[in-house]
A = this chain, B = another copy of it.
Amino acid sequence: MESQLPLFYGLSFLTVVLAFAFAAYLYLWVKKQKTVNGKIAEVSQLIKEGANTFMRREYLVLAKFAAVAAVIIFLLLPSPVWNGNIVDNIAMTLAYLAGTVLSAIAGKIGILVATLSNGRTAEAAQKGIKPAFLIGFRGGAVMGLLVVGCSLLGVAAVLMITGNSNILLGFSFGASSLALFAKAGGGIFTKTADVSADLTGKVELGIPEDDPRNPAVIADNVGDNVGDVAGMGADLFDSNVAAMASALVIAQSLSGGEFANISMVFCYAILGLFASIIGIATARVGKNGNPTRALNSSTYVTTAVFLVLTALATLLFDGFSWRIWGAAAIGLLVGVIIGITTDYFTDDTKPIVKKVAHASKTGPAFTVLSGVSYGFISALPAMVGIAISALVAYQLCAPMGEGYAIFGISMSAVGMLSIVGMIISNDAYGPIVDNARGLAEMGGLGEDTIRIADELDSAGNTVKAVTKGFSISAAGLTVISLLGAFMSEANEALAAAGRELLTGFDIMSPTVFFGILIGAAIPAVFSAMLILGVDKNAQRMVQEIHRQFNSIKGLREGKPGVKPEYGKCIDIATSGALRELIPAGLMSIAATLVVGFIGGPQAIGGFLLGNIVSGLLIALFMSNSGGLWDNAKKYVESGAEGGKGSDAHKAAVIGDTVGDPFKDTAGPSINTQITVVSLVSSLCSSLFVWLSIFH
């Protein structure tokens, strides 16, 4: 059956080429769309330059970090270089670097296309919703195709060249360390800019959201791109690679059908990318003119195509199992259901958002209290969904033989992530149309155009809540399979040391329990550090904005020709984001190492579990309550509960400000924190076996 594997390597590269070609076609299509408005071109250019500034600085810091990490990896992983095989250490180091570079390239091109699309979307909105939607969506789709293409390319190349799935963990760790910078750093950047712009603009001066007099306005628009396009892309690149890597590590540890199983992982990834291409190609606003429906229906198309094609593959190929197909299908279906329940808690046509808006009438404390409460409740369906998909996948695949149960869970994660190309496209659409709305206002395109841009933006917000719930859940399921990968890594090291192998992690063991409690505290501390980082950084930026309004003559009054120094605000957001992010990232890694060196692999098993469980809970709570407050504010602004300027509106604005760093900084960064910690654990498993105090 080994003979099938080269076929799937070949098909992988072919599909990657197809995806890149389609991305190039979409890029050129977006680029040839007309742009005539000078003002829009100018502001577009400023956003593009700002985003480039951030990316350049971020990649510079990352390059230093990666260089240090590469040296450590070379010296110590997969086993100390003075003990083991130097070729493995070189391969691991190169794989790590490839993971960072591929993710960086995808992010960089994604940003480029997004900043190209925003202005064109704004201008197309003058002609109607259909052409504008298409530009916004296709601009985002470039990012979606690149991310999935790069991850499949990297995973297939690393495994084909080395033949050793453990090296994939190095590649995955490269993707994770980039994601940590991109998602958490981008998250701090975007909310620093957003909060400062709102506080000084809307609150202090009473000028509109996107008023060009505000020195933070460009930083705010840049933030949407670096946080949501590059950050979300890196995050899902990371999850996707981790899901494939852990499935492949487990597949390689299975005896008997391992080559069929490895082929199956690649086959599912190929068909997922192919289904996303079809979904992207068919996305169009229909006659009803509803962009939310267009985004959702192309997600459903992708899901259906994937399920049909993988069923066909299961029929066609030797050694492909219907049980594994079932595990992948249940993962994907649960992912879609989680998306729908998230929507229930965050959509302003549903009752929850209305309740929070109503509570705002009693004052901001009640906005906060009700939002926190519903945010907590909203975590339940996703956690039940993940629990059920893990249980079903396990029960389905356990009869196939030893180790297959956990392989089933990892394929459930691969299934859930199969439509990730479509998910990223939907997600990257959000900041493009959000920027387009701002540009339509700054370019003076008139009320009709702004109304269309608003409609596109609102669809982006709704879909964003859904994709966030989806990506958090996918990360949760992925990390369960990373726990399996960790166990198989630790057992290799234990076997080498001649010690007893792990058969599991018993809650009643005190080292496991010790790990669980500490692991559970880490996402709370990590998210708190990021939120406090936004807080500190915003205070610096508010000072700079005040300085500009006081020292630049004519700025406050909007005298023609007087411009704020946008670059200064971008600088503050950039340097602060990177400064505040590093302690949080190092804290998570240090906690992993401390727990591992105290309690060994057993404690790390517990640590990862605690981390996953509390991480999922906090991430879902923060993302959903943040989305809820955002939409409650919009609902009040649409005229409910007293409308704009009422006390309820003031309360809702406070709720939204609390929710901003919840949903765009801390919540979605927890994914990355969990993956980073899991990969550090797997990579350091032999060190923990040798050096820990307790066993």
Q: In the assembled complex, which residues on chain B have CB atoms less than 8 Å from the CB atom of A520?
A: 383, 613-614, 616-617
Name A327-369 residues within 8 Å CB distance of B.
Answer: 359, 362-366, 368-369
The answer to whether A395 and B514 touch (CB under 8 A), given A369-B531, A379-B524, A531-B372, is no
Interface assignment of A93: CB less than 8 Å from any CB of chain B: no
- How far, in angstroms, from A174 to B130 measured CA to CA in the complex? 65
Listed stretches A31-39, A148-156, A505-513; interface member = A505-513
Listed stretches A97-105, A385-393, A424-432, A572-580; interface member = A385-393
Residue of B nearest to A666 (CB): B373
Q: In the assembled complex, which residues on chain B have CB atoms less than 8 Å from the CB atom of A613?
A: 516-517, 520, 610, 613-614
Interface assignment of A205: CB less than 8 Å from any CB of chain B: no
The answer to whether A518 and B658 touch (CB under 8 A), given A363-B199, A507-B505, is no
The number of chain A residues touching the other chain, given as a range, is: 35 or more
Partner of A484, one of B379, B405, B508: B508
Chain B: minimal CB distance from A569 (Å)? 17
Chain B: minimal CB distance from A488 (Å)? 11
A531 touches B373 (CB 8 A): yes
B510 touches A390 (CB 8 A): yes
B657 touches A521 (CB 8 A): no
Chain B: minimal CB distance from A665 (Å)? 10
- Which of A364, A386, A505, A654 has its CB near the most chain B CB atoms (within 10 A)? A364
B376 touches A528 (CB 8 A): yes
Q: In the assembled complex, which residues on chain B have CB atoms less than 8 Å from the CB atom of A217?
A: none
Interface assignment of A661: CB less than 8 Å from any CB of chain B: yes
B605 touches A507 (CB 8 A): yes
Interface assignment of A694: CB less than 8 Å from any CB of chain B: yes
Partner of A617, one of B406, B524, B661: B524
Name A647-666 residues within 8 Å CB distance of B.
Answer: 654, 657-658, 661
Partner of A614, one of B386, B405, B504, B614: B614
Interface assignment of A532: CB less than 8 Å from any CB of chain B: yes
Interface assignment of A606: CB less than 8 Å from any CB of chain B: yes
- Which of A507, A512, A606, A621 has its CB near the most chain B CB atoms (within 10 A)? A507
Q: In the assembled complex, which residues on chain B have CB atoms less than 8 Å from the CB atom of A661?
A: 369
- How far, in angstroms, from A390 to B507 measured CA to CA in the complex? 12
The answer to whether A524 and B391 touch (CB under 8 A), given A517-B384, A531-B369, is no
Residue of B nearest to A388 (CB): B514
Interface assignment of A483: CB less than 8 Å from any CB of chain B: yes
B405 touches A510 (CB 8 A): yes
- How far, in angstroms, from A484 to B508 measured CA to CA in the complex? 8
- How far, in angstroms, from A688 to B405 measured CA to CA in the complex? 24
B199 touches A383 (CB 8 A): no
- How far, in angstroms, from A483 to B484 measured CA to CA in the complex? 25
B510 touches A508 (CB 8 A): no
Interface assignment of A374: CB less than 8 Å from any CB of chain B: yes
Residue of B nearest to A480 (CB): B513
Residue of B nearest to A659 (CB): B365
Copies of this chain assembled into the complex: 2
A528 touches B657 (CB 8 A): no
The answer to whether A380 and B525 touch (CB under 8 A), given A387-B518, A516-B609, A531-B373, is yes
The answer to whether A362 and B539 touch (CB under 8 A), given A377-B528, A532-B370, is yes
Name A473-516 residues within 8 Å CB distance of B.
Answer: 480, 483-484, 487, 503-514, 516
Q: In the assembled complex, which residues on chain B have CB atoms less than 8 Å from the CB atom of A386?
A: 517
Residue of B nearest to A361 (CB): B539
The answer to whether A535 and B377 touch (CB under 8 A), given A390-B510, A508-B406, A613-B517, is no
B484 touches A369 (CB 8 A): no
A483 touches B507 (CB 8 A): yes
Name A173-223 residues within 8 Å CB distance of B.
Answer: 199, 203
Chain B: minimal CB distance from A5 (Å)? 28
- How far, in angstroms, from A405 to B383 measured CA to CA in the complex? 32
Q: In the assembled complex, which residues on chain B have CB atoms less than 8 Å from the CB atom of A516?
A: 609, 613
B521 touches A383 (CB 8 A): yes
Chain B: minimal CB distance from A210 (Å)? 21
Contact with B along A90-114 (1 / 0, CB 8 A): 0000000000000000000000000
Interface assignment of A394: CB less than 8 Å from any CB of chain B: yes
- How far, in angstroms, from A117 to B616 measured CA to CA in the complex? 47
Contact with B along A542-571 (1 / 0, CB 8 A): 100000000000000000000000000000
Interface assignment of A527: CB less than 8 Å from any CB of chain B: yes
Chain B: minimal CB distance from A438 (Å)? 22
B505 touches A508 (CB 8 A): yes
Chain B: minimal CB distance from A51 (Å)? 26
- 17 A-B contact pairs sorted by A residue (CB < 8 Å): A359-B535, A362-B539, A363-B657, A364-B654, A365-B657, A373-B535, A375-B528, A384-B517, A386-B517, A390-B513, A409-B510, A503-B506, A520-B613, A520-B617, A524-B621, A613-B613, A613-B614
Query: Which residues of A are at the interface with B, using a C-beta cutoff of 8 A?
Result: 199, 203, 359, 362-366, 368-370, 372-377, 379-380, 383-384, 386-388, 390-391, 393-395, 405-406, 409, 480, 483-484, 487, 503-514, 516-518, 520-521, 524-525, 527-529, 531-532, 534-535, 538-539, 542, 599, 605-606, 609-610, 613-614, 616-617, 621, 654, 657-658, 661, 694
* New contact pairs (20) apart from A388-B514, A507-B605, CB-CB < 8 Å: A199-B362, A364-B654, A365-B654, A366-B535, A368-B368, A369-B534, A369-B535, A373-B528, A374-B528, A376-B527, A383-B521, A387-B513, A484-B508, A505-B508, A506-B507, A517-B613, A524-B621, A610-B613, A613-B614, A614-B617
